[in-house]
């Protein structure tokens, strides 16, 4: 097996058994990046010198039998909206193009404390606003399975990097599906943890009540290992839950016999691709064959989720992005007349079209005369969606659905923002209700594109969800390797 093809578990075992060194593993991944990165453009920053220095330190710890954890020496890629001390964190935006944080995000601290090596920073849709990673100020990322297609978004750089074997682990952020949808497009596993299970300290905010950091990996077992690495209470994040967190790898292979899984009929709405529908049906049969009970059910508020999401997220984004004004840090316009013009020119030049679009929408729904009509109504719909899910989880252990309505689409195909927003239709309800969900690659389309299936569980329901995801993964055909075909 090539070094760059190893999973987290395989690499950890090889390091522990002295079959490879952390330096060898890191060099193998850096060589892979050098070979393939130009074709996919997944990374804004490659931390080669930093990573090799950390790998050397890891090897010394293992030689002295003082390794920090089973992850010591495992390289990982960090989405470029998660703060890394001394390493640029740009959010793929001109306005933060040269911003170097003076501190690490909580998840990066946890990585460092466990010996996990930061290999690079992944491209994303600017400020995590998008579903295709075409909205980056530094250029679009391509899908390794077909370079003419998008990797999804906003964590498209992270998902494409894992798919391309640049690292066995990447961190993304998920505000409305931004881990799960690109994981589906790229044929990898993407997990959105329960809101509050992973600290948001150091995550550059998009929509604070929806954002959640999570792992992208090559296997469900790796996702469980990664979740162990990042979950935990952080007093700097007031939404961080101070609870006992389990070992998410325990019992993962126990099976699904007797598990009750709901399949809302609303998920078969118009717009669902035939091949995705067939993949969902095959996934249901695979779980049933292993003893799970899958029943059709209903989620009455499903049709309102997308509208509520874009109102709430845009309103919160408007507030969060008001700090980028050319005064404190980040990009500053060079030609302006007075403080008001400084704000105007800086934000006009520093933000891209999609960010401006959402800020305009956010300001509109928060403005006098429209606040009650739109924003307050969206919050009420949010409550109803959560109540619907609460009712479902009284009957079911998990919910199953598509991860996305169709496989990865062609770059530039969805220039209409509304078409782009509809790609999030199956993922946004999870964030609105603060649930946990995972996308597992389960099938390939006739064009050789991955198709992911989503499993959803109640808050802190990751152990049950991971069992179902593992069972589904074991019953699914192998994905194979990306082809890096196509392109302009």
Q: Which residues are known to be catalytic?
A: 79, 154, 178
Contacts from 346-352 at CB under 8 Å and sequence distance 24+? 346/95, 347/95, 349/94, 350/93, 350/94, 350/95, 350/324, 350/326, 351/93, 351/94, 351/95, 351/126, 351/321, 351/324, 352/93, 352/94, 352/126, 352/135, 352/137
SS3 string of 153-217? CCCHHHHHHHHCCCCCEEEEECCCCCCHHHHHHHCCEEEECCCCCCCCCCECCCCCCCCCEEEEE
Cα dihedral 192→195→197→202 (10° resolution): 90
Q: Which residues pair with 172 in a beta bridge?
A: 214
* HSE-CB of 191 using CA atoms within 13 angstroms: 33
Mutual angle of helices 302-320 and 353-366, in 10-degree steps: 100
**Cα angle at 63 between 59 and 64, to 5 degrees?**
120
Q: Alpha-carbon distance 116 to 69, whole Å?
A: 9
Q: Alpha-carbon distance 434 to 420, whole Å?
A: 23
- Which residues, 6 or more positions from 356, have their beta carbon under 8 angstroms from its beta carbon? none
**Cα angle at 451 between 446 and 455, to 5 degrees?**
155
Instruction: Provide the edge-to-edge strand list for the sheet that holds 450-457.
Output: 43-46, 117-122, 75-79, 169-173, 213-217, 189-192, 436-444, 450-457, 398-402, 260-264, 293-297
- Using CA atoms, how far residue 30 sits from 4, 17, 222, 381, in Å, is 9, 22, 21, 47
Structure token digits, residue 440: 């597992």
Q: How many residues does the chain have?
A: 488
SS3 string of 48-89? HHHHHHHHHHHHHHHHCCCCCCCCCCCEEEEECCECECCECC
Answer whether 271's CB lies under 8 Å from 460's CB: no
| Helices (runs of H) and strands (runs of E) counted in the chain | 15, 11
Q: Alpha-carbon distance 473 to 450, whole Å?
A: 13
**What is the β-pairing status of strands 75-79 and 117-122?**
parallel
- Radius of gyration of the CA atoms of the chain, in A: 21
Q: Look at residues 283, 259, 274 and name the one whose alpha carbon lies nearest to residue 473.
A: 283
């Amino acid at each position: 097996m090539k070094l760059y093809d190893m999973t987290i578990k395989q690499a950890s075992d090889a390091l522990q058994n002295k079959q490879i060194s952390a330096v060898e593993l890191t060099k193998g991944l850096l060589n892979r990046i050098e070979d393939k990165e130009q074709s996919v453009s997944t990374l804004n920053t490659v931390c080669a010198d930093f990573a090799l220095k950390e790998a050397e330190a890891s090897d010394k710890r293992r030689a002295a039998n003082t390794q920090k954890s089973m992850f010591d020496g495992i390289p990982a890629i960090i989405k470029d909206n998660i703060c890394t001390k001394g390493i640029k964190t740009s959010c793929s935006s001109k306005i933060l193009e040269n911003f170097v944080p003076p501190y690490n995000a909580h998840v990066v601290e946890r990585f460092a404390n466990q010996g996990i090596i930061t290999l690079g920073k992944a491209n994303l849709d600017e400020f995590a606003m998008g579903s295709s990673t075409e909205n980056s100020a530094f250029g679009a990322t391509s899908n390794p399975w077909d370079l003419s297609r998008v990797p999804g978004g906003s964590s498209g750089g992270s998902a494409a990097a894992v798919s391309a074997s640049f690292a066995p682990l990447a961190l993304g952020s998920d505000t409305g599906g931004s881990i799960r949808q690109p994981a589906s497009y790229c044929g990898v596993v993407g997990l959105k943890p329960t809101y509050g299970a992973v600290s948001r300290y150091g995550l550059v905010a998009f929509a604070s009540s929806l954002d959640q950091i999570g792992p992208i990996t090559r296997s469900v077992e790796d996702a469980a290992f990664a979740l162990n690495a990042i979950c935990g209470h952080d007093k700097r994040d007031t939404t961080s839950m101070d609870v006992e967190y389990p070992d998410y790898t325990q019992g993962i292979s126990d099976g699904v016999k007797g598990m009750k899984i709901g399949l809302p009929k609303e998920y078969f709405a118009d717009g669902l691709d035939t091949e995705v529908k067939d993949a969902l049906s095959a996934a249901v049969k695979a779980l049933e064959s292993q003893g799970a009970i899958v029943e059709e059910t209903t989620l009455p508020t499903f049709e309102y989720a997308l509208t509520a999401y874009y109102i709430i997220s845009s309103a919160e984004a408007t507030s969060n992005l008001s700090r980028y004004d050319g005064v404190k840090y980040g990009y500053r316009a060079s030609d302006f007349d007075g403080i008001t013009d400084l704000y105007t020119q800086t934000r006009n030049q520093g933000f891209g079209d999609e960010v401006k679009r959402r800020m305009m929408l956010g300001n509109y729904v928060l403005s006098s005369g429209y606040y009650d009509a739109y924003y307050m109504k969206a919050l009420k719909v949010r409550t109803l969606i959560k109540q619907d899910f609460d009712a479902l989880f009284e009957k079911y252990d998990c919910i199953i659905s598509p991860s996305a309505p169709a496989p990865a689409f062609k770059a530039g195909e969805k220039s209409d923002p509304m078409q782009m927003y509809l790609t999030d239709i199956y993922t946004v309800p999870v964030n609105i209700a603060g649930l946990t969900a995972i996308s597992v690659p389960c099938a390939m389309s006739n064009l050789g594109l991955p198709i992911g299936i989503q499993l959803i569980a109640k808050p802190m329901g990751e152990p049950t969800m991971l069992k179902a995801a593992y069972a589904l993964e074991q019953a699914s055909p192998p994905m194979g390797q990306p082809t890096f075909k196509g392109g302009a």
